[in-house]
Amino acid sequence: MKVAVAGAGVMGAGIALSSIQAGYTTLLFDVNESALLKGESYIRKELNKAVEKGKLTPEKAQSMLALLSMVTDVTELRADIIIEAVLENLEIKQTLFRQLEAVNKAETILATNTSSIPITQIARGLQHPGRVVGVHFFNPAHIMKLVEIISGAETDCEIAKKSYEWAESLGKTAVYAADAPGFIVNRVARHYYVEGLKILEEQVAPLESIDRLCEASGFKMGPFRLMDLIGVDTNYAVTGSMFNLFGQDAKFRPSRIQKQKVDAGHHGRKSGQGFYRYEE
């Protein structure tokens, strides 16, 4: 099976890394060549870390890298399963899938890594909507075990089954989820971020104290450290999506503080600054 990943950001690069680690020939795509090179650098860096820790031999790391190739031309993006990990924007995802449908065989699985946009909406307008399925990884994708498999209204059962089996072949724990706002994890976890931001907005406590309190309660990471890891911009986009999908229910209201961070380009670890500062 040949795998392709569209989008070379941290999430897309992590998915591509998971794929080559499992022995799949993998194509990584991005329209931005600098983003593609950054994605390749991320993959090499993570493999080097594994070698340094004794989890991989240098030879094994090199054999994994040999499975990876990169392209900036969408017409070269042909595979048996393609996972998009582009911006959390319905129009961008629909446009990409229309382009992919035009250059791939009818059997190609078109998987979306969306965090919150309904699979049914993404598949709308395609000639073969039955082959669109949600395959939602969590950041960092090559480490986190859970993968949600989401079927839209027209997703073929066999497509969902093959996607589930592929995720399991990566060493992941796959679960089926309904095509509902936020699916499982983002629906449950959304208020972990939203309430933390509300406390900060109301000046009840500084963000460092909020994080420490949550971590002292048993969470591995406080909401602000976790948003920085996920990407402040990505987290904000998901909250905005869910706010609209739930009819602009006030309890999902995106935070003004988070919007300001996004506008300033403070996107978290990937940009070197989010709610915290990060040194290389």
Q: Is 101 strand, coil or helix?
A: helix
User: Which of these is catalytic: 40, 84, 88, 148?
Assistant: 148
User: Which of these is catalytic: 19, 186, 235, 241?
Assistant: 186
168 classed as catalytic: no
Rounded distance, CA 187 to CA 239, Å? Answer: 10
208 classed as catalytic: no
186 classed as catalytic: yes
Rounded distance, CA 89 to CA 1, Å? Answer: 28
Cβ atoms of residues 44 and 16 within 8 Å: no
User: Which of these is catalytic: 19, 104, 113, 136?
Assistant: 136
139 classed as catalytic: no
User: Long-range contacts made by residues 217-220, C-beta under 8 angstroms, separation at least 24?
Assistant: 219/192
Question: At what angle are helices 10-21 and 33-52 packed, to 10 degrees?
Answer: 50
3-class SS letters over 68-87: EEEECCHHHCCCCEEEECCC
User: Which of these is catalytic: 18, 19, 113, 115?
Assistant: 115
What are the residue numbers of the active site? 115, 136, 148, 186
